[in-house]
């Protein structure tokens, strides 16, 4: 079975600036991280691979050259291959253009299913997964909180979408674009200490517009079908600081926090 995880890297917290009053938000990221919903998609793919060792996983993303080390760390946790699409001509592409670029690559790839996140934390429109599905002629479903792993490999898979009032189960013919929510609880594991410096460059492929062949008028700001009327920085609230004592209660609080954040 071949799974392609289509993911996005987003600015990490307050580590970016937005230039006000520009037609396009110019984000100067100092740190990037994988989008939380997309992390769930990879976490599930790795979980499937653990129970079905013949499963092959590819990561597909778009972004600047600085993504290289971040993607290499994901390769070190068990993803088999990664493809980064990176070209200055793609800068300022909206969701419509981004989906076209990703879909052009995917038309050349073999896969049994596409896993994505449902929403992005950087203010995206959450429309890239459905647009990819439309471009490829595939069914797409967002907000998935659970996949029945016993159905993986069958002609259709069973997935749950949970809202505040109910849980709805769907049966979806494969291949399809399955978009997961962070509520699913699937997690991307950390790189093991022994693998932290493992060379994975042979598993990483870089593609540019020389490979995909778009006209300059089709991509970037020129090809965008949506325009940002105004962008501005918002003030985020800093997390509450908690002080604990040097006693068993404090030890328990630290332990529970580390466990919650998956450091242990």
Three-state SS across 25-93? CCECCCCEEECHHHHHHHHHHHHHHHHCCCCEEEEEEECCHHHHHHHHHHHCCCCCEEEEECCHHHCCC
| Cβ-Cβ contacts under 8 Å for 85 (sequence gap 6 or more) | 60, 61, 62, 63, 101, 102, 105, 207, 208, 212
Give long-range contacts, CB 8 A cutoff, 24+ apart: 153-159. 153/1, 153/52, 157/113
Decide: 3 and 55 in contact? Cβ < 8 Å: yes
Q: Which of 129, 109, 43 is nearest to 79 (CA)?
A: 43
Q: State how far the Cα of 97 lies from the Cα of 56, in Å rounded to an integer.
A: 28
* pLDDT for res 242: 82
* pLDDT for res 179: 97
Q: What is the pLDDT along the chain (264 residues), one digit of tens a residue?
A: 999 999 999 987 654 555 544 444 444 455 789 999 999 999 999 999 999 999 999 999 999 999 999 999 999 999 999 999 999 999 989 999 999 999 999 999 999 999 999 998 876 678 999 999 999 999 999 999 999 999 998 999 999 999 888 999 999 999 999 999 999 999 998 888 899 999 999 999 999 999 999 999 999 989 988 876 665 544 545 567 788 888 999 899 888 888 776 666
Put the strands of the sheet holding 167-173 in their side by side order.
Answer: 167-173, 156-162, 140-147, 177-180, 113-117, 2-6, 56-62, 81-85, 204-207
> Whole-prediction pTM value?
0.83
Report residue 98 CA to chain centroid gap.
14
């Amino acid at each position: 079975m071949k799974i392609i995880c289509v993911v996005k890297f987003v600015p990490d917290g307050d580590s970016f600036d937005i230039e006000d009053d520009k037609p396009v938000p110019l984000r100067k990221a100092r740190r990037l991280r994988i989008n939380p919903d997309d992390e769930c998609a990879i976490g599930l793919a790795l979980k499937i691979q653990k129970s079905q060792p013949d499963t092959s996983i590819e990561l597909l993303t778009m972004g600047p050259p600085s993504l290289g080390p971040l993607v290499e760390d994901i390769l070190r946790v068990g993803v088999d291959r990664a493809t980064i699409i990176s070209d200055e001509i793609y800068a300022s592409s909206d969701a419509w253009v981004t989906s076209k670029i990703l879909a052009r690559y995917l038309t050349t790839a073999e896969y049994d299913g596409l896993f994505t996140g449902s929403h992005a934390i950087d203010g995206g429109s959450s429309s890239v997964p459905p647009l990819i599905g439309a471009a490829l002629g595939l069914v797409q479903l967002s907000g998935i909180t659970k996949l029945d792993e016993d159905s993986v490999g069958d002609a259709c898979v069973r997935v749950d979408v949970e809202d505040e009032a109910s849980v709805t189960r769907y049966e979806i013919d494969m291949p399809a674009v399955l978009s997961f929510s962070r509520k699913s609880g699937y997690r991307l594991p950390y790189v093991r200490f022994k693998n932290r410096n493992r060379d994975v460059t042979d598993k990483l492929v870089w593609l540019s517009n020389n490979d995909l062949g778009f006209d300059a008028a089709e991509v970037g700001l020129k090809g965008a079908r949506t325009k940002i009327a105004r962008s501005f920085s918002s003030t985020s609230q800093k997390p509450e600081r908690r002080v604990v004592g040097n006693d068993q209660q404090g030890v328990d609080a630290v332990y529970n926090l580390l466990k919650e954040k998956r450091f242990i």
